[in-house]
Structure 1
Amino acid sequence: MKKSLVLAMAMALGVTASAYAANPFSDVPAGHWAYDSINKLAAAGVIEGYGDATFGGDKLMTRYEMAQIVAKAMAKGANVDKLAAEFADELDNLGVRVANLEKKADNVKITGEARYRYWDNDYNKKADKSTDALRSRIWVKGAVNDDWTYTAMLENIQTFQHDNAGEETTKFQRAYVNGKLGGVAVQAGRYGFTDFTGGNIYDTRMDGGQVAYGKDVKLTLGAGKAADAAFAKVAKNDGSKADNLYYANLAGKVGVVDANVGYYKFEDVTTLSDDDSIWTVGVAFPVLKDLKLGATYLASDYDKNNADDDGYVVSLDYKGAKAGVAGSWGLFAKYYDQGVGTYIAHTMNGQCGEFGIAEDGFKGYQVGANYTFAKNIVGQVEYYDLEAKEGSKEAKTFYGQVNFMF
């Protein structure tokens, strides 16, 4: 029975006896009558043997094991109709199991990035303060069903040149779901939130949820708890997390112009005021081929100490490095004039707040460039020249990074 079965299966796959000379199983000697057929079936992936590198030719085979072999042979195009009919029930069960396993294998996607970052800061004309670090992130995304997904992110940061040189932190930084309820897109959990001005107000984590409706004109509403503000001078000085954050944004396109109107309310976030509400209006449009101009106006309700409570940001972007296209590149520039209360955790890599400018409001410029050295390896450099809107504080920062994506 076994002899005829092995020969029949090998013939169905078109075995040529000398095609595979290597011996994958220690208990099948070269002179064995089934040597060539077994080698062919093993090379084709139809049979696998046992974990100890043996074929186990003397062992009795279960119907389920036989059904596995038949299924693999059928997948290779073998004509095994009689065997398929004999093991129809087992193949039906196996087919369900294989389909589920294949679906499960494709259900979870793991991606990541490793970013080397370097800062060189000149604050108030004092000695330079340089810092470099390696930030690694692992992203896991799984399909819950056809409409819902789960995303998580683990982050590790290792500092090098710093007062805390060699310091390392590893945190579970993201865990959220995305899905649809009717025509409404839903996101909930701990997610990264970049405000709709491009991060001129807030760009870090939050614990909460948001809903969005519409395509050409989209309304987004969100609420939750803000993470610690990026700027120590603006964050609550007791080390606790910020309190509630509410936001709403309406975005659409008029001809070639992208426009949006937004509202953000932070409760008990800053040392300056218990609450801070910010209104924004923004537009972006092409002015030349590959050149885009953007402008955002921001107004807060901070009205203490006669401080400037509104501001604006103007940006220019030319082309842009694409991770999948080696040799692609881009240039960008921004001019900031932001009063106190118009930002909580700014997206800028220059981190002006760490150097005493944030609590006074600031103005100045940023210029930068990015370039794709090879597929999924992108470098970027930025330079900031900023000064406080009140007093003589200033900060100049060079920032560079290389990002490896996988």
Structure 2
Amino acid sequence: MKKTLVSALTTALVVGAASTTFAAANPFSDVPADHWAYDAVSQLAADGVIEGYGDTTFRGNQNITRYEMAQMIAKAMAKTDVSAADKALIDKLAAEFSDELNNLGVRVSNLERNADKVKWNGVLEYTYTSTRHDTQSAATKSKKNVDEYVFRLEPKAEVNKNWDVHARLDANGLMDTDGGNDTYDVKLKRVWAEGHYDNLNVKLGKLPNAINLISTTDDPYSGAAVTFGNDLKVTLEGGRIDATQFGDMGRDKDGLTSSDSNHIFAKGDDTVNFQAINLGYAKNKFYGNTGYEHMDGATLNTANLVKPYTNSNDKEYKANIWFVNAGYRFDHNNFFKAEYAQNTEADNYDDAYSFEYDYKGAQPQNKGSWGMYLAYRNLGQYAAPWSTYGDGVDGGQKGIEVGTSYTLFQNVQLFAKYFNGKDIAADKDAQKLFGRVDVFF
């Protein structure tokens, strides 16, 4: 399954990431007493890593300012003799309260210089998917079950106070056959250098798609990305992206599945030029993005989900996709987002949209936390050639999707999704059942 799984799991998958999307930049805003950080800080206090307010207590029954929380986290970051579990808690808290930690200035910089130069994170992941498609023959269905595992390592190395180097290594295979093309092979999936200068961020290398919305892909590309701004951020991306991922999704250009006879399926064996721009705004409970993605340069018989199939004389496969999305957090538990994209190069299946409601969210560090969501998605295959939603509704499909997440133990999470809808072009019923177990370390 060609998806960047960790990214989906910790940033957008199901609803877990939604609970930290709107970390306030105001260091004097209150953190409510039911915030997940209270459990994390209470655990650190119980382990003797932090001392609360300095009087050996932690006032977990009352609100606290984010600035006070950041002060406790900064003290915890200074400790070196902590367990791996406590270190994971500290790292998660530091990510949540990064703005407030930055406001502490020199103290945070000093702590970073004393930290280990290389940090390792990873996940062991098991995924089961079962897909069903009606075929041209009403009496038959196309069925496919996949048992897949992934072992992933994500090192981060500090170069200096402004630059880091990131990488991702994956080993994956199929559980049911103990085989597959990638079984037991460890592959360097991503590697990039990242520079931080106040409100400017620069990435160079084989890096993840920074915009990564409904439309194109969450697979990496080789190139560069620049982000600048504060509340209003501008992201520019450019490079080369693997077109083979757009080549065969089990349906041909007419939406027919591989079980249907007399249809030729294009296979991708090329790369495409890729450029994108995104304008993003986030303030308090609201965020919004709008932007544009362009791809061109793939030759004939490649990238069948990029070429619009509108001009047989056109020798290049291309896409010009405009998109917009927005989300609003009503309170600690309730979140809604909507997205829309359109490929102006296509005459049909040229738009994609999604509406999603999230309730709560499972946090890896918070045992017993859970979340659920309900969504309707219509992902025209040329507007969403390799959608980031592919664990449920895929590009070229539409329908209802429901999902849930649950933290069984600290750093052990369960996920489930169910999609029921149609393959758009073929106008045939389609379903997918998705289950996943993640063990983070």
What's the TM-score once normalised by structure 2's chain length?
0.62
Compute the displacement of 1:309 (Å). Answer: 1.5
Compared CA separation, residues 122 and 140, structure 1 to 2 (3 A): same
Contact 1:130 1:161 in 2 (8 A): no
Compared CA separation, residues 181 and 302, structure 1 to 2 (3 A): same
Render the CA deviation track for 1:56-110: whole Å, top value 9, x for unaligned: xxxxxxxxxxxxxxxxxxxxxxxxxxxxxxxxxxxxxxxxxxxxxx979811112
Contact 1:291 1:318 in 2 (8 A): yes
Compared CA separation, residues 170 and 182, structure 1 to 2 (3 A): same
Equivalent runs, 1:355-374 vs 2, <5 Å? 358=395, 361-374=396-409
Contact 2:285 2:330 in 1 (8 A): no
1:337 is matched with: 378
1:302 is matched with: 345
Paired residue secondary structure (2:219): strand
Unaligned runs of 5+ in 2: 1-111, 135-139, 253-264, 309-316
Contact 2:243 2:272 in 1 (8 A): no
Is 1:377–2:393 an aligned residue pair?
no
2:274 is matched with: 245
Contact 2:350 2:380 in 1 (8 A): yes
Give the counterpart of 2:159 among 119, 134, 144. 144
Contact 1:245 1:266 in 2 (8 A): yes
Contact 1:109 1:140 in 2 (8 A): yes
Compared CA separation, residues 182 and 399, structure 1 to 2 (3 A): closer
Compute the displacement of 1:188 (Å). Answer: 1.1
Give the counterpart of 1:171 among 153, 165, 187. 187
2:118 is matched with: 108
Compared CA separation, residues 399 and 130, structure 1 to 2 (3 A): same
Letter of the structure 1 residue corresponding to residue 379 of structure 2: Q
1: distance between equivalents of 2:204 and 2:336?
33
Paired residue secondary structure (1:203): coil
Is 1:213–2:228 an aligned residue pair?
yes
2: distance between equivalents of 1:345 and 1:371?
27
Paired residue secondary structure (2:141): coil
Paired residue secondary structure (2:220): strand
Contact 1:266 1:275 in 2 (8 A): yes
Contact 1:230 1:346 in 2 (8 A): no
The aligned length equals: 296
Contact 2:147 2:175 in 1 (8 A): yes
1:187 is matched with: 203
Letter of the structure 2 residue corresponding to residue 191 of structure 1: L
Compared CA separation, residues 108 and 373, structure 1 to 2 (3 A): same
Compute the displacement of 1:339 (Å). Answer: 2.4
Compared CA separation, residues 129 and 163, structure 1 to 2 (3 A): farther
Give the counterpart of 2:357 among 292, 310, 316. 316
Letter of the structure 2 residue corresponding to residue 262 of structure 1: G
Identity %: 25
Compute the displacement of 1:147 (Å). Answer: 0.5
2: distance between equivalents of 1:254 and 1:154?
35
Contact 1:188 1:208 in 2 (8 A): yes
2: distance between equivalents of 1:152 and 1:241?
24
Compute the displacement of 1:298 (Å). Answer: 1.1
Paired residue secondary structure (1:106): coil
Give the counterpart of 1:266 among 279, 295, 310. 295
Compute the displacement of 1:205 (Å). Answer: 1.1
Paired residue secondary structure (1:142): strand
Letter of the structure 2 residue corresponding to residue 211 of structure 1: V
Compared CA separation, residues 385 and 194, structure 1 to 2 (3 A): farther
Letter of the structure 2 residue corresponding to residue 128 of structure 1: K
1: distance between equivalents of 2:400 and 2:244?
22
Between 1 and 2, higher relative CO (CA 8 Å, sep ≥ 6) is seen in 2
More divergent stretch after superposition (199-208 vs 318-327)? 199-208
2: distance between equivalents of 1:250 and 1:146?
27
Compared CA separation, residues 387 and 209, structure 1 to 2 (3 A): same
Render the CA deviation track for 1:151-174: whole Å, top value 9, x for unaligned: 111100021225956960321111
Compute the displacement of 1:280 (Å). Answer: 0.9
2: distance between equivalents of 1:241 and 1:204?
15
1:90 is matched with: none
Unaligned runs of 5+ in 1: 1-101
Letter of the structure 1 residue corresponding to residue 273 of structure 2: N
Contact 1:160 1:167 in 2 (8 A): no
2: distance between equivalents of 1:378 and 1:351?
18
Letter of the structure 1 residue corresponding to residue 409 of structure 2: A
Q: Quick check: which has more Rg, 1 or 2?
A: 1
2:46 is matched with: none
1:277 is matched with: 320
2: distance between equivalents of 1:247 and 1:111?
29
Cα RMSD of the aligned pairs, angstroms, is 2.7
